[in-house]
């Protein structure tokens, strides 16, 4: 879909297609993806980079940092790791604001783990 020039889709439409078809899978599976190794996150990022290069018609050898910058500026697309962090932060914030027992228990255990080591812990969202 992203590379078919005959369809004549503009970059905004292609970006929205990517977010709908691929981004939604990442979003809905973020609890599982957060346990992925750094190497597997890099593999997902490579897939996203290839899609962004195709959508924005960037050369294959465009450095990743430029691809990430262009993806954010032109498509409002975060890197995979930043998106996972954003979703995790939102999930925990929502859980705390709605008194979800599981989230409350996890935060309590998180605090207790730091307290048992006499380390100051960050304040939750």
Q: Is the pLDDT assigned to residue 98 strictly greater than 70?
A: yes
Q: How far apart are CA 74 and CA 3, in angstroms?
A: 18
More confident residue, 114 or 72: 72
Write down the pLDDT at residue 119: 47
Write down the pLDDT at residue 78: 95
Burial 3-28 (b: 16+ CB within 10 A, else e): eeeeeebeeeebbbbbeeeebeebee
Q: pTM of the entire structure?
A: 0.72
Identify which of 28, 37, 38, 47 has the alpha carbon closest to the alpha carbon of residue 91. Answer: 28
Write down the pLDDT at residue 91: 81
- What is the C-alpha R_g of the chain? 18
- Give the least confident one: 32-41, 50-59, 62-71, 105-114: 105-114
Domain edges within the chain: 11-116
Q: Is the pLDDT assigned to residue 107 strictly greater than 90?
A: no
Average pLDDT, integer, range 55-82: 95
Which residue is it, tokens 């954003």? 86
Average of per-residue pLDDT values in the chain: 84
Q: Is the pLDDT assigned to residue 118 strictly greater than 80?
A: no
DSSP letters spanning 11-50: HHHHHHHHIIIIIHHHHHTHHHHTTS-HHHHHHHHHHHHH
Position 117 confidence tier, pLDDT thresholds 50, 70, 90: low
């Amino acid at each position: 879909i992203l590379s078919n020039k005959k369809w004549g889709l503009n970059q905004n439409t292609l970006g929205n297609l990517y977010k709908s078809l691929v981004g939604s899978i990442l979003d809905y599976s973020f609890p599982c993806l957060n346990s992925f190794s750094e190497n597997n996150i890099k593999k997902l990022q490579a897939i996203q980079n290839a899609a962004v290069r195709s959508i924005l018609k960037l050369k294959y050898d465009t450095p990743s940092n430029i691809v990430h910058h262009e993806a954010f500026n032109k498509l409002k697309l975060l890197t995979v790791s930043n998106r996972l962090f954003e979703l995790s932060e939102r999930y925990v914030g929502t859980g705390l604001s709605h008194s979800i027992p599981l989230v409350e228990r996890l935060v309590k255990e998180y605090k207790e783990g730091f307290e048992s080591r006499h380390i100051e812990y960050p304040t939750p969202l």
